[in-house]
Structure 1
Amino acid sequence: MANIKSAKKRILVNNTKMERNKAIKSGVKTAIKKVDAAVVAKDAEAAKAALLNATSVIDKAATKGVYHKNNASRKVSRLTKAVNSIQ
């Protein structure tokens, strides 16, 4: 356990950031799963709606620094390609 005051604060701040990042990543994964489920069901309208939501969630995660912008872009690209394949 840390003895120095700044080290103790670092532990608290890191835990707070970890919890925040974990929640954001979980939201991204849920949004991606919804798109994938709609694609598997071949429901174009639901897939488009889920894609719009997922894109928003992923972009927000990238803006907050949880994902690198290229990683977020790759995720959106793959989802878009999957949605376009069912039409």
Structure 2
Amino acid sequence: MANSPQSKKRARQNERRYAVNKARRSRIRTYLRKVEEAIASGDKDAAATALQAAQPELMRGVTKGVLHKNTVARKISRLNSRVKSLG
């Protein structure tokens, strides 16, 4: 339990950051789900559009420290190859 004023402040800051990061992760997952659904439907144009919308959101997650850059690079690469393979 936080006792000193500094540790109480850090606890408050951690709660706020947790809420912000949770919302950001949720937003990223929503964009990824839209891409996955477009791929599953087999619509190449919709999938490409969804991927274009998801990429900046994923990269924003990297700059804000929610995700690691290699994780995002891997996800984008794999999604991109799956979109390209749609005929």
TM-score of the superposed pair, with normalisation by structure 1: 0.94
The residue that corresponds to 2:78 in the other structure is 78
Runs of 4+ in 1 over 6 A off after TM superposition: none
Structure 2 stretches lacking a partner, 5+ long: none
Structure 1 stretches lacking a partner, 5+ long: none
Q: Is the 8 A contact 1:42 1:86 kept in 2?
A: yes
Residues of 2 paired with 1:81 and 1:57: CA distance? 19
3-state SS of 1:38 partner: helix
Letter in 2 for 1:86: L
The residue that corresponds to 2:62 in the other structure is 62
Letter in 2 for 1:43: D
Q: CA RMSD in A?
A: 0.9
Letter in 2 for 1:73: A
TM-score of the superposed pair, with normalisation by structure 2: 0.94
Q: Matched residue pairs, number?
A: 87
3-state SS of 1:65 partner: coil
Q: Is the 8 A contact 1:28 1:54 kept in 2?
A: yes
> What are the residue-to-residue correspondences of 1:1-87 with 2, within 5 Å?
1-87=1-87
Give deviations 1:26-56, integer Å, cap 9, x for gaps: 1111111100100010111110110001111
